[in-house]
Chain A
């Protein structure tokens, strides 16, 4: 495998939550709690997990949109944090983000050309003529008619808006793009178009994606490697083929079992559905966070969080019983 483009080392992001009440107390929400992994050049690393597992926070912290509580993220072996403004500005050229909601992530008062071209303005790239050409080129590339450059976001459909968001993210020719639930707000037929577009662009520009989604089927389709999160921690990480063939962690198993079937022929009399709710990340269970829902839990699981074990080459899982 090639060199790591991004190295995430024991990254933590805690939020302080104020509890309103007679006595004001503060509890700690450990959204990302000691996460380590590498992202290699040219790969699509899928991050999957349910709501509240910290996957979006992870994406934003890696991009330095959130300041980390502890830990380090290296981009091409250099820290993404602790930089002066000029260095930060340089960094954003390489690292960009595509957001989930194509409605709230575009400024409704700005025309499309302005939205896509804003980063070119900020970095003073090219002459205004060159910028304008670049914007038209970007619009074409993501499948938007450049004639619509003077329109406002509300004049576009959800899928088209997501294309605007993608064009904006690519304007500075980044190497690394975090796609945060980039297709989950879209209808299935549009979702398929956008997934294809993301793959086309990745190939063409040799991009590296960190693709965050709650939908296992989407992650399974697009990723080359998959990382599974549960309550702020990585529970399993492996190459896609390895993870699909053999999911080791009980939570990964639960995700695969719960994943909707694709044909009525697959209906089974008895499914082994995992019971119980996702606990609150404010007060996660002791030991392994998954133990209250886990049918395989042993005494040790209640006491101590399991370390990452390499179960096969390049395939890691954090579980006491594997």
Chain B
């Protein structure tokens, strides 16, 4: 016999049955019945954010660091529209989140009621799927289906819009086992013929390279393990996108570092000159490929992706394999082993030697001299002093994000949370809150720029209220550094609105919220200051005053191929042609 309950109670019950322990949200008129149920239970902890965008990014941080879907509860109208940026961010980075929104009662929908917005209409292009539930009898089943859709196949954000009268009305509860998951069952096993073709290519390749992405992380810890096994067994060098950092350890012998626009010289050169490119869970994003008609011109390209629409979208795949990374890698290893574990060892050794020559360029080298902290130095010291901790890193978006990706080493998946696809300034702080909720004892650091950080600084209240000791490591150059860099290279050094004037005193700001503020401007004090930040049991705003005009290198100028990298300030003259100038 099915249990009768109100729609509001169903929401809480369904979340519990889905194993949800944390919900990030903000109450309002259209979700009051659900908040009343949240009040009367202890199974789910509700984290009150200070802005709905923060709730979604926090849920993303939770999801990226645990592999479990993040859950958000917000009200109708502005609650829902404020969630749109987070939804789009999660869609572009394939992060599983379930957003529950209140809606005006069904009989008022379409009447321009108070706090009414066409939430499913607005969020249709920025969710994997969404539902407007008009009948309480369907509500619990829809929530269970929402969790299935968010996590199955290529993960993504989903939204369930729940009118207030549906929350008040009663109906029978459908449990997760009884709920239909529909026909939505993405293919996880890769085609064995294609996998065999890839093994054959791998056996003979002279200059192979693994190019891995966020799909490896999304596939789960098994995928990272299998990837490591494959890399170690074959000796093939490996690079990764921004999203995929940590799937293969940065200390690994085959590690080339990140590739792409601000990727490492050796990684980009290897991509350009390889004869077999094995793309595992990446999507040939424009930050990666640079100029398409000159992208890795001499290589055969294999592409493993769970989403068929990723294949042949921008780069033609010679060996396309649709499937879940862990499943495909497992089969690939089986086939490769059964055929005698062959690789062209001699050629690969020669290839690795050539790569070592590129490594000698030492593209990340910098000189910390003078009285001002170089941003690269700040990140390098942060790495040295935190790498042995149980550490999670989030970032905002801009130069600091690229430096963090370049100078921090990630040994495990799910340790690095950054807004890759959408490039959302204001992502990192709320994301760090979500990560800390999932890992209460870990060291969670948000590497930030002062401009990005200000975009969601209201979440200081959340960090204080829930005693989340998140460390805000702000590289403060009083500039929108990446915008400034492009204006320098592309717009005749006319720095249109790319400086941060009227900045707050970050130390006083921290104290105003009841947190700790640390300012550091002298390279000699940096280590002690970082240690002080780590040691403090509570949220810290670390205001690291850095060189104001530092540019982020290496850089592939837009409109150029991988082997036309700029390595430093001297090489930037006339680097970007007029074709590249129109690209972002």
- Report if A and B associate in a common complex: no
Residues in A lying within 8 Å of B, measured CB to CB? none
Residues in B lying within 8 Å of A, measured CB to CB? none
